[in-house]
Structure 1
Amino acid sequence: MNENVFKAMADPTRRKIIELLKEGPKTAGEIATHFSHAQPTISRHLNVLKNANLVADQRNGTYIIYRLNTTVLQDWLAWLLERFGGSGNDDEE
């Protein structure tokens, strides 16, 4: 498991960015409108998400479009559920 994923998901701003990208691809400017942070702060958060491979970017003219890398996110969630999701034996005491 990529340790950068844990670092990326530990921050509430980055989790909110993930939620926004779940709705579909967005530019950094579109993402920034949902926060009171300055644009450079959002860019740093996006770089952390990119380094964890949770987000992919693609240049489109003068814009960079960010999209969720669902494969990495699904792998991370599966890993968490496997280890911390419980045994399914809730009746045991």
Structure 2
Amino acid sequence: MDNLVFKALSDPNRRQILKLLKDTPLSAGEISRQFDLALSTLSGHFKLLKEAGLIREEKKGNHIFYSLNTSVLEEVLNLMMEIFKKDKPNLRNIKQEG
């Protein structure tokens, strides 16, 4: 998995965009109304999310619609579960001798 995914997820605005897309694809205009950011700033966020593979873009007429790429999100979740899975002893429960 590319570090670009983690860079994309590190920004709260990009995480908010992903939350907005969780139920349905939205147009760039619909998303932009949820933020107090310049359109050029939002375009940069969309670009990074697309490069990371977290969202897809589809042009319909004069509008661009964005949707989640769930396969990449599943990979991220699986990686996080693997990193944090409990297969080590809990050091808090080990009594200190001495």
Q: TM-score scaled by structure 1?
A: 0.91
Q: Distance in 1 between matches of 2:24 and 2:89?
A: 37
Structure 2: runs of 5 or more not aligned: none
Q: Distance in 1 between matches of 2:12 and 2:45?
A: 10
Query: 1:49, 1:55 within 8 Å by CA — same for their partners in 2?
Result: yes
1:88 is displaced (CA, Å) by 8.0
The aligned residue for residue 45 of structure 1 is: 45
Q: SS at 1:22's partner residue?
A: coil
Q: Distance in 2 between matches of 1:44 and 1:86?
A: 37
1:80 is displaced (CA, Å) by 0.9
Q: SS at 1:34's partner residue?
A: coil
Aligned pairs, number: 93
1:92 is displaced (CA, Å) by 4.8
1:6 is displaced (CA, Å) by 0.4
Aligned-residue Cα RMSD (Å) equals: 1.7
1:43-82 alignment runs, 5 A limit: 43-82=43-82
Identity of aligned residues (%): 41
Structure 1: runs of 5 or more not aligned: none
Q: Which structure: larger Rg?
A: 2
Q: Distance in 1 between matches of 2:65 and 2:88?
A: 40
CA-to-partner distance for each residue in 1:1-42, whole Å, 9 max, x for gaps? 111100000000000000000021001111111111111111
Q: Which 4+ stretches in 1 moved above 6 angstroms?
A: none
Amino acid at match of 1:11: D
Q: TM-score scaled by structure 2?
A: 0.86
Amino acid at match of 1:37: L
Q: SS at 1:57's partner residue?
A: strand
Amino acid at match of 1:13: N
